Structure 1
């Protein structure tokens, strides 16, 4: 036995699978022995102990990676992981999505689980956050936003080999229903139009929202050059967006449309009157951006002032406070009265009829009643026809077909 080769070791005894490092007095080198990622025992020697430790750490990492147990940053917190993830996705997601993720992380995730280790986050940790938010009165949308943010971040982390699992996958969503806004009832819509008719701006803004139904950010991005008086049409080419640290600016629309939106002569007349009035009242403008609905100084208008517009209009009309998106739902609900679902889908710019049916079309009770009456009438007529056919069949069977 070579006593020099097995001299007393200065290192702390390692556990099974952690490898061995010792100083060979005969060779005057540090010797490392371990099983590699293929399960083969390997031995290497190094002049310096730090080199031996680095090689051993690399072999263990490779072995763990091959078994799916390796995490690049095992001590990284949820807050650190999400911060790195969000900044890495800044050019792959839309600004609105970025703001939504950022808000969920800052307001609902970091305060509760941001200090936990990202690699060991569990389904139970996430469900505890969801329950806490529900106890504090947060709505369905906020809670779903937390789950979607975590799920997206961990899916990306797994794809890039930063994380080994997605703890959001098995989380059971709370049994709470979302608050779904509906189309504006016809009586209240009439009141809004009556009040809006006092102002060319109000009437044009209401008409675009409640009849054309494009997104509020797209309405803010409409320019007079998008209107064709000859073809009676309107193109939707852009939307107005705000990105953190940047002023309002134009951006691409969320979805592409097949072509211009047709306008009626009445709708065109409303826009022409608004344009005429706008040209006569632009003395206080400092900018001329060419948009149809600018702010008070002619610049791009943000969502805050546009939300204030619909709120003030509802107050003046004496109706409940409706939102801008309820105007959009009203447009598609009313359009469906004169078109099939496929045509309504094309008009709305949506790619899915299910999305349109589930979230945007809310028929009034009178329309539902009329449909129910038609269905009942059809049912009774079918029952009557089947009964008559049964009687005829019985008469034929007994040879009394001509007795009727």
Structure 2
């Protein structure tokens, strides 16, 4: 154990100093902590505290790493666990934090700094999709905070910090109320709207893929479908492949989003018939194009066999919505309408989750089942019977 030395500063002041061995870092480099105090007793007490924490495995060695540097390390670590598209989403979210707090040393980061950062992100965080520097959606800020908490939680595990300064930070209630008042949530289509759209696009070339989008499949799943995934005799569809977009520019082909996403679905008769007709149409298009046709395994291709992506499918759907003078909604949001319809039709929760490609049935119902006012009329009818004294009121 290093001795405690008396040190006389240029000013004449006397200090006491020692060096404590704090183990080794992740690269095997020796960590030493220098303790300088006014009295020998203070140095001894601090040395004993450090040695006790080291023995207990709770020592937090001093580090100069900044929050920005740690976030970069955490993103590199996360690449082991998540898809490229997810890492890109994490990086885009956390840039809001690194712009504001990236220079702060991780061990000096405070809860107040994190709270002020989140408040500023909500108030001024918009970077695109509107006027830069204006309010950002609370849901987006919540996502940023979730990623920051995860990164700081990992720093706690690595013993870079004792506790996470973001652990108890929340988006303020005032911001949540303002967001709810100024940013009403987009409503998915009602069942009648879905049915009107289906009826209006029946003669469209991409009727079959759009119909699949309107029976609960994700857009990336639809454009990732290959004809080998579909059994037209058994009327089944096997979902194992997706083609998603990075930055709305680059196509990334990968397996299903989760293990539950890999599923086999029975095809409703209308979808089965539409797929048969679409396959026959593609055969005629190939014959007409001759050598100009591109052979592709995918279901969703253009007249020359070139695969279409989610952006193409989305823009095509938006054009059809304009032509039909219908309210514009995202194809992805059609999942809400479809799954709500299945729930209202009495489909059991576990079947609902399996159809959607989810592991957790509670998640499916919480996030995707959204009854509208028409769905609730059965309850109003039940109250009419109750108030009228009918003991056989529907439930």
TM-score range, shorter chain: 0.7 to 0.9
Change (3 A) 1:137 1:254: same
8 Å Cα contact 1:195-1:316 kept in structure 2: no
8 Å Cα contact 2:218-2:332 kept in structure 1: yes
Query: Which of 71, 83, 99 is the aligned partner of 1:82?
Result: 71
Quote how far apart the aligned CAs of 1:187 are.
Answer: 3.9
8 Å Cα contact 1:222-1:236 kept in structure 2: yes
Counting matched residue pairs gives 346
Aligned partner of 1:163 in structure 2 is: 161
Q: Deviations over 1:330-383 (max 9, x none)?
A: 111122232334232332222333322222112232221122212442465477
Query: Which of 322, 329, 332 is the aligned partner of 2:336?
Result: 329
1:221 aligns with 2:224: yes
Query: Which of 296, 302, 308 is the aligned partner of 1:289?
Result: 296
1:275 aligns with 2:279: yes
Quote how far apart the aligned CAs of 1:130 are.
Answer: 1.7
Q: Following the alignment from structure 2 to structure 1, what is the Cα–Cα distance between the partners of residues 278 and 310?
A: 20
Quote how far apart the aligned CAs of 1:117 are.
Answer: 1.4
Aligned partner of 1:352 in structure 2 is: 360
8 Å Cα contact 1:183-1:329 kept in structure 2: yes
Aligned partner of 2:85 in structure 1 is: 96
Query: Which of 322, 346, 359 is the aligned partner of 1:339?
Result: 346
8 Å Cα contact 1:71-1:162 kept in structure 2: yes
Q: Following the alignment from structure 1 to structure 2, what is the Cα–Cα distance between the partners of residues 237 and 8?
A: 70
Give unpaired runs (5+ residues) of structure 1.
1-6, 20-33, 38-52, 386-404
1:200 aligns with 2:205: yes
Change (3 A) 1:251 1:197: same
Quote how far apart the aligned CAs of 1:120 are.
Answer: 1.6
Change (3 A) 1:82 1:14: farther
8 Å Cα contact 1:150-1:168 kept in structure 2: yes
Q: Deviations over 1:88-112 (max 9, x none)?
A: 2211123332122111122x11221
Q: Following the alignment from structure 1 to structure 2, what is the Cα–Cα distance between the partners of residues 210 and 8?
A: 78
Q: Deviations over 1:136-178 (max 9, x none)?
A: 3100222012101111111112112233221110102222158
8 Å Cα contact 1:234-1:262 kept in structure 2: yes
Give the secondary-structure state (helix, strand or coil) at the position aligned to 2:374.
helix
Q: Deviations over 1:183-215 (max 9, x none)?
A: 3123432442233223131x112211112x022
Q: Following the alignment from structure 1 to structure 2, what is the Cα–Cα distance between the partners of residues 347 and 55?
A: 57
Q: Following the alignment from structure 2 to structure 1, what is the Cα–Cα distance between the partners of residues 346 and 81?
A: 37
Q: Following the alignment from structure 1 to structure 2, what is the Cα–Cα distance between the partners of residues 271 and 14?
A: 87
Aligned CA RMSD, in angstroms, stands at: 3.6
Quote how far apart the aligned CAs of 1:79 are.
Answer: 1.2
8 Å Cα contact 1:256-1:349 kept in structure 2: yes
326-335 vs 172-181, greater mean Cα deviation: 172-181
1:70 aligns with 2:78: no
Query: Which of 236, 241, 251 is the aligned partner of 1:233?
Result: 236
Give the secondary-structure state (helix, strand or coil) at the position aligned to 1:156.
helix
Q: Deviations over 1:56-86 (max 9, x none)?
A: 65997963863845246x2222111101110
Quote how far apart the aligned CAs of 1:310 are.
Answer: 2.6
8 Å Cα contact 1:182-1:329 kept in structure 2: no
Aligned partner of 1:140 in structure 2 is: 138
TM-score by length of 2: 0.75
180-189 vs 127-136, greater mean Cα deviation: 180-189
Over alpha carbons, which structure has the higher Rg?
Answer: 1
Q: Deviations over 1:228-255 (max 9, x none)?
A: 1221111111212456897532323324
TM-score by length of 1: 0.74
Query: Which of 365, 370, 389 is the aligned partner of 1:362?
Result: 370
Give the secondary-structure state (helix, strand or coil) at the position aligned to 1:240.
strand
Q: Following the alignment from structure 2 to structure 1, what is the Cα–Cα distance between the partners of residues 196 and 385?
A: 35
Change (3 A) 1:179 1:290: farther
